[in-house]
Structure 1
Amino acid sequence: MRTAPLAFFFAAFATVVSTETAGAADVAEPVRQVMAITKTNWESVDAGWKFIFDPDPLAKLFSKRFQAAYKEAAKHPAYDTENNEPGDPFGYDVVTNSQDGCPLQDISIVPGAAKDGVTPVKVRFKQWTCIDEEDIKNSVSEVDFDVVTEGGKPVIDDIHRVADNERDSVIAEMQSLAKGQQ
């Protein structure tokens, strides 16, 4: 009879440890999915382009706060589509911060330590490998993602493009767009 409670304790402990380990391992998953879409986009022609803010990825990969900011910003589209529907509020790829580029190379995704419920995930990649000029060709772009947990799963709460030791905020940009300030 003494072995049953002990066995139960070890089984419960193993479950808690494996759950915590799995949760920690998955913190970068929404970022990996966004980067997979972005990588595929830059490898294809415009006809194959998939927007990270299409309804399905927006609902699955981004926080409620991010979704709300996008919904408001989308009221001010950057362009109209061919079927006279409004496009998204950005006239460029928010991850690469550009309208032009090459297939992405050397992508690294590194989660940092969580602080105040936010886990930073640093992404680095080469965006201009098809350019002949060596300095541009070998330059490395950095994008930082803020990941939070909602409903028990990690989601992206903000995106920060990093250049010249400064970080911007896609949330702040969407809030400006919603006010008609861009």
Structure 2
Amino acid sequence: MKSLVAAAVLMLAAGTALAADPTAPVREVIDVTAGNWKSENPTSEDVFSKDRLARLFSADFATAYAEASKHPAYDPPEGETTGSPFDYDPIAGGQDGCPFENIRVEDDGDGQVAALFNNMACMGDDPANKEDRVLLFHVKEEAGRQVIDDFYVVVDGNSGESFKDELRKIAAD
């Protein structure tokens, strides 16, 4: 009986540890995006779908995205008034690219998660095409789960503009 209770406690503790994993929302965003860029049988999933915005992103980020989506980069489908505010894939960093290679998602501590991958290797032998794209995600706990509050591209070792700030600029235009 004691061993059953101990096993149940361990299972609950493991579930709690997984729920508190700050890399989980980042890993899903990267996996979905990588699936969209596969060379064979790519998916066509929206990283910023209503479901993912509610599950993976903070309320503040979701609000910024909703406001920016009122200013879509392209004409939305007939009958819709909102669409993606981006005219490029903000995770992949462009409209052109290659299948993601060497994906790593690392917990840097203090709510920062780094995602590294190469998505330019198929573009040729230029040394720049061999470099990893590096994104820094700020993750926080909200409503009892880990969510992405913002993310940044690292360029030449420095963190670039906040994507949440980019969304707010789009919404203000």
2:83 maps to what in 1? Answer: 87
Number of aligned residues: 168
Gaps of 5+ in 2: none
Superposition pairs of residues 36-55 of structure 1, within 5 angstroms: 36-43=31-38, 48-55=43-50
> Which residue of structure 2 aligns with residue 171 of structure 1?
164
| Secondary structure of 1:156's aligned partner | strand
Structure showing greater Rg: 1
User: Which residue in the other structure is 2:64 paired with?
Assistant: 69
Aligned-pair identity in percent equals 34
Distance in structure 2 (CA, Å) of the matches to 1:84 and 1:165: 44
Residue 18 (structure 1) shift:
4.7
**After the TM superposition, which of the residue ranges 40-49 and 75-84 deviates more from structure 2?**
40-49
**TM-score by structure 1 length?**
0.80
Counterpart in the other structure of 2:99: 103
What is the CA-CA distance between 1:47 and the residue it aligns to?
A: 8.3
AA matched with 1:175? R
Deviation, 1:66, is: 0.4
TM-score normalized by the length of structure 2: 0.84
Gaps of 5+ in 1: none
Q: Secondary structure at the match of 1:43?
A: coil
Q: Return 42-51 or 29-38, whichever deviates more.
A: 42-51
Query: Which aligned segments of 4 or more residues in structure 1 are displaced greater than 4 angstroms?
Result: 13-20, 44-47
Counterpart residue identity of residue 163, structure 2: V
